[in-house]
Structure 1
Amino acid sequence: MEFGLRMSDTPEAAQDSEGLLLREYWGVIVKRLWTVVLVFVVIVTGVGLYTFQQPKIYEASVTVIIDFEPPSVFGDAIDETGVGQASWLMLKQYFETQLQVIKSRHVAERVVRDHGLAENLEFLGLDKITDEEVLSRELEESDPAQRLMDMLSVEPEKETRMVHIKVQHESAQLSADLANAVAEAYRDQNIENRLQTMQDAFYWLESQYTAYESRLNESTRALTVFKEENPLLFTSPQEQQVITNNRIKELNTNLIEVEAMRRQYGYVLKELKAFKVENLGSSGVALLTESANLSQLTEKYVDLSQEEKKVLATYLEGTEQANSIKAQLALVEQALETEVSSIRRGYQARYDAYKGSEADLRKQITSVEGEALKLDQLKLLYEQVESQKAEQERLFELVQRRLNEVSLTKLLKSNNIRILDRATVPTEPAKPRVVFNLMIAAIMGLLGGVVLAFLLEMLDTTIKTQEEVERITGMQFLGAIPTIRDTDHRSAAKIPEGKTYRPDLHVGFFPKSRVAECARTIRTNILFMSPNKRLDTILVTSPSPLEGKTTTAINLATVMSQSSRRVILIEADMRRPRLYRAFGVEPATGLSEVLIEHATLEQAILETEIDGLDLLPCGPIPPNPAELFHTQRFLDVLEELKKRYERVIIDSPPVIAVTDAMILAQLVDGVILVSKAGSTRRELLKRSKELLEGIGANLIGTILNNVNFENRRYGKYYYYYRRYGQYYDHSTDRP
């Protein structure tokens, strides 16, 4: 059986296909209902028996709180959580470690030792042993710590720091006592570990305190010596550097002023050195106006120069007037020269003074800059020495503070493990959980039964539905024949007197039954398949024996004869003939003797109790049926029968079993391949179709026999037939 959705062309068809798929599933469950029920009963019964045989186990639980660190009482505030700057990963690893510590053998051995569990027979489960020798041996082989570890479980509360410590035991009181004992042992062990750690830390810090105190004293002395050896640092290096920088700035300012004055006097001095009386009209002479005497002499010289021009314009050179004015000019020029020389000497003195000041200032700046460079070097050395002293002070204070904290912590005995809720004696057992186990068993039983049912169905490779037949063979599906039951339309009151009901002749006895209607549907499909070419001879065969081909051949011949046609049914299965028994006759001769010309057709053909239907039985079983069908005599017989009857129906042996069907398939107009629902294997049906196609047989189509229409797997495919049969269930017609 295949499970899956079928492809459909329309939404309506898709919905119908899904409905059929669900009905197929339900059909599998109904078909193998006893398998589902058996698995359900076995699993539920087994789980129930196992559950009720188990001893009652009680579970007690203690709730503890695990902090990352105990509350810190040092500093400005109390840290209740103690996590500080710890990362999430560190916290996770810490709590996971603590959970493993609780379940550790070390804690279990502590509980065993403190509470004498090694001799507690109830705890060890040996209290019911009466034999002293056996009890002694069991005590020697017992492992109390491991037994306690097996009873113990630890469950953290999500998104909290709470942990539930649970102990299971057959004794309710002992389970509570053990749970409390484990929590106390874990807490006490944690305190002892912390105290031991604190003690070790105290000794180490004490040794470090002495060492850092000595180092601090050395650093202090080194700083003092450095200051004494470097008196330049009468203040702090930072202040000294500010003072030096201000001195350099002031000297640079004075240098700029002195340099400016020196340049100014140098310029004036240069003009004075280049002074000539005849150049009194130039720009440089204006500087000489700073002297009042020089200004008077200059005015006088200018007046005399103008007077000379006037005299020379009137008198000739060498005259008394000319010589007198020139003598006066010479005296004034001499006075001017004397005055300018005096002024020049004054400017020279000032120039030299400013030049000396400039040189002195430059020397001072160079000296101060040297001091500043030396100060920078001393500053670095000072900061290094001071930094060493400060570091030693910090370390000393840190060690001193930690030493005080450790000393106080030892006295406080602080712990990061707190017991929040102690275990109480449980009143109800935790195991076995009867209702839960039975519910799980019921669910598993149902699922196991259904799974087994579907597994068996999938392992079943037989043909069951029209879809499988069409998919495997690719041939036209002619129809389905329902299962014929003895209770279908066959009560004794419905059978005419003088006749005996035979299932193979059901269609003849009950022409209005659903079996007959299905057979007529097949007849109609065959006739419509070849409207232009008559199918005078039709071979009915199957892949294997016992698949209903003989009954199908009878039904097909019957419905064809009911349509006012003369039909003959040939029993060509000479290996396992059954047609003569189906019609209730004992023929004296048959087809085998006709073929060897020991009898005529008139002697071999028998009339049946169905109008229009004659029977050519097999006759005596020959040793070589296949060779008889290869003869010309068989072809002549077949042609003769085609002339006498409108339809010739041949019941042949199975395709896979013998070669008779292969020979006959080449001699007829069409071949019908019959398969039995729930019996014919897919590979045999496919192989039969391939063999018939290989010899060039005209395959009309396939028929699915022995279909149980009461099974929901067939859905609406056979809805019409079921309704038709139900309609005639109430009919009073007789055959």
Structure 2
Amino acid sequence: MDIHKEQGTVDRLPQEDVIDLRQYLQTIMRHKWGIIGFAFIVTLLTALVVSSITPIYRATATLLIESQQANIVSIEEVYGLDGGKSEYFETQFGILKSRSLAEKVVTKLDLVNHPVFNQPKKSLLPFEVKWREWLPFELPVAEAQVETEAAKFRSIVDQFMAGLTISPLRKTQLVNITYESSDAELATLIANTLGESYIESNLDAKLQLTLKASSWLSGQLEGLRTELTKAEQRLQEYREKEQIVGERGGLNIAGQELELVAGKLVDARRDRLEAESLYQQVRAIGKNNPSRLELVPTVLQHPLVQRMKESYARVELKRSELAKRYGAKHPTMQAVNSELANARFALNNQILSVVNGIETNYKVAVANENSLKSALEGTKGNIQSLSRKEYKLSEYELDVETKRAVFNTFLTRFNETTATGDLRTANARVSDPAVVPLYPAKPKKKLLVVLAFVASMMFGVMIAFVLQALNNTIKTASEVETKLGMAMLGLLPLLPRNRKKPHQSYAMFMEDPQSSYAESLRTIRTGLILSALDNPHKVVSVTSTLPGEGKTSLALGLAFATGQMEKVLLIDADLRRPSVAKALGLDRAAPGLSSLVAGAAAIDECIQHYEAGNIDVMPAGIIPPNPSELLSSKRFADVLTQLESRYDRIIIDTAPSQSVSDALVLAPLVGAMIYVVKSDSTSYQHAKNGLKRLREAHAPVIGVVLNQVDVKKGAKYYGEDYAGYYDVYGYSSEKA
């Protein structure tokens, strides 16, 4: 049993997760007519709906709003335009969107009586009851009529604002006024009128503001002039009292003097530090040591010292030359020695002279620094005195400047306001008036129809993938191997329906032996024989997961195909729903398997020869009350042993494995078992569970036969999964 299990089970190797675009394309092709049909219906409905929508026209006028007006004189502050530009433009956009401006336009264009804004509302009732005509008297309607007109005006304004769009252009002073309406000319008229009304409203506001500003400025000027005169008199009296000359109370002159003295003091301090450093060096050496003083850089670099040193060096060189020829007591040597001593004496005197000069320079530098310090302190005291006067002077001057600035500002504003009282300049202008649109802006019928078609196609494709994901049936040989883990023994193509022959698969092998159906049976027969060449399977059982999958058709066809080569016995072991006798037109009341196992008839009495297929058939016989017990009895095993000695091949049609346990009972008694799965019908979970039960019973399942396969559909939509099974054997021919 383990050998058969190993032969019938396909090793499922781990596969890499690879996106197979061909599978996606095949899924779309399988449902293409449904997708196209759905898209066609949705597109048609969309076209009908779009065609009934009233076209809307859009007109746009461009308005230029200037933050800095081109006025003759600058009076922006009077109108409150000197704030931030961003806030100013946002305010103007808000005015353009305001309800008050919309009401002005509605009133100006008399939109209350315009047909577009007075379209009749469709009544929900089939007819209207004019109940007022039935009354013998008239009701007062004056007050109600006023309320109705006000409500109507508000409604018209709401409709007007609903079609209006104000959209500023980024990083510019331009703003688009867009209006949408079913009347193209009305949309253009409203867009232009709104811009003009905004400009007029702005001009009216400026005029009123100018008049108010002129009246207020005139009253303020007299008081400001008096205060300015008094402040100027106080300033002049203080200057005369303190005898102040120059700017800032003389502080500018004192400041220049302070800067000059401070600069000289810095230079004197630098000179003193340099002289002090040199003085400390020579003082540390002392005047009694000319040879060491000679090493001080300042002394050494002095021109007279350098000349003296050169003279001393020449005398010394002369003495060294004469010493080679004369002795120490020679008159010439004594003269040279005297000359060398004089040279040394002169050099030392010159060194002392330079040192005395360094000391003198140091004392002069100290005196100069002290003198400048005294001068600086005096200048500082003078500046402090002047600062106190300058502080008081600044108060008087600031008071005068402040009052003069306020007076001049008010005088300027008054003159500007007076000069521009009759000048009406707008802060905005229409840079691009709206023109009558030739084509509606919406709905974009073609675009909507195309979008509806594309969206419906995408939705249809999505549904197709959902249906494919929900389809858990077995359709291809690869799915048999991957999902069921079994080898593909063969397949049986789906035969065309024929009302006269509802079960034409029963006799197709004999009626048309050259058909693809007959060829597929021979292929299955070959697979059965090749599955055990050394030890042929004499007893072969055919089962399925559920009823109606075609196990009986396979048993009959396999018996006919094998009967051409061997002596074959077909046993109908489906003791609950036997169908072999009916399919072959045999006597269903004749003794059969149940009678033989029960001992009610002999073997020869239970076997009928079917001449057309050249096979022997043992029908089910009388349906017993306990089929499972009958098949699991020792009597049935003995009967099967006897039959094996008389026939080359025994094919047993068994009940479905998921419905009852008959197939499990027969598992130990058969040499091979073929599992039938109906293509695109049986879920792989059910088939997998059925095979699992058979494996647990150690059933020798050698392979799976995929039944009722739609060859044309499979070859078209499953591609390579069917190529090896159909095209090679001609299954996809028209005859199939």
User: TM-score, normalized by length of structure 2?
Assistant: 0.68
For residue 61 of structure 1, report the CA deviation from its aligned partner.
1.0
Further displaced range: 467-476 or 604-613: 604-613
- For 1:449-499, what per-residue CA distance to the aligned partner results, in whole angstroms no more than 9, with x for missing partners? 444444444333333233333332222232322112258xx999xxxxxxx
Aligned position for 2:64? 66
AA at the equivalent of 1:695 = A
> 1:71 is aligned with what amino acid?
Q
**Alignment match, 1:187:** 199
Comparing 450-459 and 386-395, the one that deviates more: 386-395
CA distance in 1, matches of 2:244, 2:195: 70
Note if 1:681 corresponds to 2:675: no
1:547-586 equivalent positions in 2, closer than 5 A: 547-562=549-564, 564-586=565-587
Structure 1 residue 695 displacement after superposition: 3.0
Cα distance, 1:443 vs structure 2: 3.2
Q: Say whether residues 1:440 and 2:441 are aligned partners.
A: no
Residue of structure 2 in register with 1:697 after alignment: 699
* 1:316 alignment partner in structure 2: none
Identity of aligned residues (%): 28
- Are the counterparts in 2 of residues 123 and 174 from structure 1 also a CA contact under 8 Å? no
1:110 maps to 104
Two-structure CA RMSD over aligned residues (Å): 4.8
Name the amino acid aligned to 2:254: Q
Mapping for residues 486-501 of structure 1, pairs under 5 Å = none
Query: Which of 9, 22, 25 is equivalent to 1:22?
Result: 25
Matching residue's letter, 1:238 = N
Q: In the aligned structure 2, how far is the partner of 1:454 from the partner of 1:359?
A: 105
In the alignment, what sits opposite 2:496? 485
d(CA) in 2 for partners of 1:19, 1:678: 19
Q: Distance in 1 between matches of 2:542 and 2:369?
A: 141
Aligned equivalents of 2:470, 2:619: Cα separation in 1: 40
> Could you say which residue in structure 2 is the equivalent of 1:342?
none
Distance 1:244 1:212 in 2: 41
| Distance in 2, Cα, partners of 1:479 & 1:214 | 121
Match of 2:272 in 1: none
Counterpart of 2:507 in 1: which secondary structure? helix
2:161 is aligned with 1:167: no
Residue in 2 aligned with 1:278? none
Match of 2:162 in 1: 150
Whichever residue aligns with residue 491 of structure 2, its letter is A
Partner SS, residue 148 of structure 1: helix
Task: Return the alpha-carbon distance in structure 1 between the equivalents of residues 709 and 379 of structure 2.
Answer: 123
Matches within 5 A, 1:187-206: 187-192=199-204
1:125 to 1:242, Cα distance in 2 relative to 1, 3 A: same
Deviates more, 1:717-726 or 1:586-595: 717-726
Partner of 1:418: 429
Distance verdict in 2 for CA 1:673–1:219, change over 3 Å: farther
Is 1:519 the equivalent of 2:521?
A: yes
**SS state at 1:544 partner:** coil
Mark the CA change 1:74 to 1:530 in structure 2 (over 3 Å): closer, same or farther.
farther
Report the Cα distance in structure 2 between the residues aligned to 1:362 and 1:730, rounded to whole angstroms: 127
Change (3 A) 1:240 1:47: same
Distance, in Å, in 2 between the alignment partners of 1:369 and 1:155 is 67
Q: 1:636 to 1:358 in 2, by over 3 A?
A: closer
Query: Match for 2:195: what amino acid?
Result: A
Change over 3 Å in CA distance of 1:474–1:239 after alignment to 2: same
Q: How far apart are the structure 2 equivalents of 1:668 and 1:94?
A: 98
Q: CA 1:376–1:596 in 2, change beyond 3 Å: closer, same or farther?
A: same
In structure 1, C-alpha distance between the alignment counterparts of 2:182 and 2:369, rounded to whole Å? 110
Partner residue, 2:485: 474
Give 1:48's aligned amino acid. A
Which residue number in structure 1 is paired with residue 254 of structure 2? Answer: 240
The Cα of 1:591 is off from its aligned counterpart by 1.0
Q: CA–CA distance in 1 between the matches of 2:669 and 2:413?
A: 113
Shift of 1:419: 1.9
Find the aligned partners of 2:489 and 2:222 in 1 and give their Cα distance: 110
- List aligned pairs for 1:549-698, cutoff 5 A: 549-562=551-564, 564-587=565-588, 588-609=590-611, 613-698=615-700
The answer to whether the Cα contact below 8 Å between 2:64 and 2:431 also exists between their aligned partners in 1 is: no
Which runs of 5 or more residues in structure 2 are unaligned? 1-12, 133-143, 269-367
Q: Which letter does structure 2 place at the counterpart of 1:541?
A: T
**2:369 and 2:172 mapped to 1: Cα distance?**
82
CA distance in 2, matches of 1:238, 1:152: 67
Q: What's the counterpart of residue 318 of structure 1?
A: none
**1:124 equivalenced with 2:115 (yes/no):** no
Q: Return the alpha-carbon distance in structure 2 between the equivalents of residues 403 and 645 of structure 1.
A: 132
| Shift in alpha-carbon separation, 1:171–1:523, aligned structure 2, 3 A | same
Pick the structure with greater CA Rg.
1
Change (3 A) 1:363 1:470: closer
Q: Which deviates the most, 131-140 or 624-633?
A: 131-140
Aligned counterparts of 2:665 and 2:462: Cα–Cα separation in 1? 46
Q: CA deviation at 1:543?
A: 1.7
CA distance in 2, matches of 1:133, 1:218: 85
Amino acid at match of 2:428: I
Q: TM-score by structure 1 length? A: 0.68
Tell me by how many angstroms 1:621 deviates. 1.6
Q: How far 1:594 moved relative to its partner?
A: 1.1
Structure 1 residues 234 and 105 mapped into 2: Cα distance closer, same or farther (>3 Å)? Answer: closer
Preserved CA contact (<8 Å) 2:28 2:461 = no
The 1:145–1:632 alpha-carbon spacing in structure 2 relative to 1, beyond 3 Å, is: same
CA contact (8 A) 2:711 2:726 kept: yes
8 Å contact from structure 1 (residues 62, 419) kept in 2: no
Deviates more, 1:415-424 or 1:358-367: 358-367
1:181–1:518 CA distance, 2 compared to 1 (3 A): same
How does 1:107-506 map onto structure 2 within 5 Å? Answer: 107-126=101-120, 142=152, 143-154=155-166, 161-192=173-204, 220=232, 223-231=235-243, 233-235=245-247, 236-243=250-257, 367-379=378-390, 382=393, 386=397, 411-485=422-496, 502-506=504-508
8 Å CA contact retained: 1:512, 1:728:
no
What do the CA deviations read for 1:129-176 (whole angstroms, capped 9, x no partner)? Answer: 999999979867541111112233445567765444333334344333
Q: Distance in 1 between matches of 2:369 and 2:710?
A: 133
Structure 1 residues 120 and 590: CA distance shift in structure 2, 3 A: same
> What is the CA–CA distance in structure 2 between the aligned matches of 1:624 and 1:361, rounded to whole Å?
140
What is the DSSP-based 3-state SS (H/G/I as helix, E as strand, rest coil) of the residue aligned with 1:551?
helix
Match of 2:719 in 1: 715
Q: CA-to-partner distance for each residue in 1:270-320, whole Å, 9 max, x for gaps?
A: xxxxxxxxxxxxxxxxxxxxxxxxxxxxxxxxxxxxxxxxxxxxxxxxxxx
What's the CA shift for 1:227? 3.3
Read off the aligned partner of 2:717 and give its amino acid letter: R
Distance in 1 (alpha carbons) for counterparts of 2:93 and 2:634:
96
Distance in 1 between the 2:678 and 2:724 partners?
A: 21
Q: Which moved more, 1:548-557 or 1:387-396?
A: 387-396
d(CA) in 1 for partners of 2:15, 2:497:
39
Offset at 1:97? 6.4
Deviations 1:63-113 (A, max 9, x none): 22333515344689x9xxxx9997xxx75x776765565444333222223
Q: Deviations over 1:353-388 (max 9, x none)?
A: xxxx99999988755442233234545555566566
Output one character per residue of 1:34-77: Cα deviation in whole Å (capped at 9) or x when no partner. x334423432332233233334x35241322333515344689x
For residue 44 of structure 2, what is the aligned residue in structure 1? 45
Gap change, CA 1:248 and 1:540, over 3 Å in 2: closer
Report SS of the residue matched to 1:675: strand
Does the 8 Å contact 2:59/2:436 carry over to 1? no
How many pairs are equivalent? Answer: 600
Distance in 2 of aligned mates of 1:545 and 1:659: 13
Q: Secondary structure at the match of 1:710?
A: helix
How far apart in 2 are the matches of 1:141 and 1:84? 40
